[in-house]
Copies of this chain bind each other. A is one copy, B any other.
C-alpha cells in the first residue's frame, strides 16, 4: 500500500500522536527509526501501523523489519519522504515511523508492589516532577540498564511516551514496569508500607551516596530539574542522599545524578552477590 496524501486518516492519526492527549486517548506512542521499531517488536509491543520510505524498503535491514512487521500483523504503507518527515518528530527520520501500543502505567499499590517485590532486592525509581523528556528517558534507560525493578511517575512528570522520552530511553519505557501515583508523597508512603526504604536525591543531601547501604529494598526519589523533590515526600523519607562533588563549581543535572545513584546501588548489590557466591563456593 502507498499513501501520498497528508489528509489520509492514517497520516493524520500518526501526526496526532505527537500530542499527549491523543497518545493517552489512543493508548499509543510514536516510535521512529529502524532500531527502535525493532526493539518495540522485540519487547512484545503491538506495532499497529508503520509508514516507511521507498529507500527504507530497498535496504536489506529495512526489508527484513518490514517482513517481521507484516508477519506480526502491522498495517504498512510506503510514503514519500516529505510525508515521513511530516509525521516524524526527529529532524532526520530514519526511514520508518510506527504507532506502537502502550499501556497506561498501573496505579501504584499492593498489586504493583507485589509484582515488583518478586525482584530480588527491588530498587524502584520515583520520578517526582522530571520535566524534560530527554532527562526522563535517560533515567528510565539507566534504571533498566542498572537493574531497577520499575519506576513510578506522578503528575508533573513528563509523559514517558513522549517521542523524545521514548528515544532517550532507548526503548526502556516500553520494557520497564511503570506505575503512577496521584502524588509523590502517596507513592513514597506506599513504598514504605511495602517494606522499601525511601531515599531522596538532593544536591544538599546529608548522606554521601557511598555511605548509603543500597543492599536492601529501596525507592530512590529524583525530583524536578529546578525545584527538586516535593517537600511533602520528606515525611516518608529514610534520608537524603547526595553525590559529593569537587570544588563547588561543578554540578550535575538530574539525569546524571540519578544515573550515578542507580549505579552506586547496582555496584553495592553486585559486590554483595559476588561475596555471597564466593562464600557458597567456599563451603
The answer to whether A256 has its CB under 8 Å from any CB of chain B is yes
Which of B134, B170, B172, B247 is close to A144, meaning CB atoms less than 8 Å apart? Answer: B247
Against B, the Cβ 8 Å flags (1 = close, 0 = not) of A229-252 are 000000000000001111101111
Given contacts A172-B250, A175-B249, A249-B175, contact A210 B271 (CB under 8 A): yes
The answer to whether A162 has its CB under 8 Å from any CB of chain B is no
Structural contact, A144 and B175, CB atoms closer than 8 A:
no
Which of B141, B147, B210, B264 is close to A252, meaning CB atoms less than 8 Å apart? Answer: B141
The answer to whether A207 has its CB under 8 Å from any CB of chain B is no
Which of B144, B208, B253, B271 is close to A250, meaning CB atoms less than 8 Å apart? Answer: B144
Q: Which residues of B contact A144 (CB under 8 A)?
A: 246-247, 249-250
The number of times this chain is found in the oligomer is 2
Interface of A is mostly: helix
Structural contact, A256 and B210, CB atoms closer than 8 A:
no
Against B, the Cβ 8 Å flags (1 = close, 0 = not) of A156-184 are 00000000000000101001000000000
Structural contact, A147 and B247, CB atoms closer than 8 A:
yes
Q: Which residues of B contact A250 (CB under 8 A)?
A: 141, 144-147, 172
**Cα(A267)–Cα(B208), bound, Å:** 10
Q: How far is the CB of A65 from chain B (nearest CB, A)?
A: 18
Q: How far is the CB of A123 from chain B (nearest CB, A)?
A: 10
The answer to whether A56 has its CB under 8 Å from any CB of chain B is no
Structural contact, B210 and A245, CB atoms closer than 8 A:
no
Q: How far is the CB of A133 from chain B (nearest CB, A)?
A: 13
